[in-house]
Amino acid sequence: MPQSTTPMPAAARRSQLTRVRDARRSATTAAGIAAERVTIAQRERGTYRAREAATQLADNPVESVPQAR
């Protein structure tokens, strides 16, 4: 790609850098939000599994817990 022989005006360069910075920040924020949602979903699944296990123990205590003889 050919390079321009005239330098970009300072105001245009600052504007371009600001747009690039904002785009990167948005991408980072979006990635962070997505990662946080995954973490919350995994935590919820774990909580659900623990709740299910507790319910099964409460419903079938004799079958679930080995009895000492």
Q: What is the pTM of this model?
A: 0.47
Question: Please, what is the average pLDDT of the chain?
Answer: 80
Q: Could you tell me which residue, 25 or 65, shows the higher pLDDT?
A: 25
Which pLDDT tens digit goes with each residue over 27-45?
889 888 898 999 888 888 8
Which whole-number Å values give the CA distances from 1 to 4, 5, 57, 68, in the listed order? 10, 13, 68, 80
Q: Is the torsion defined by CA of 10, 16, 18, 20 positive or negative?
A: negative
Check whether 5 has a pLDDT greater than 60: yes
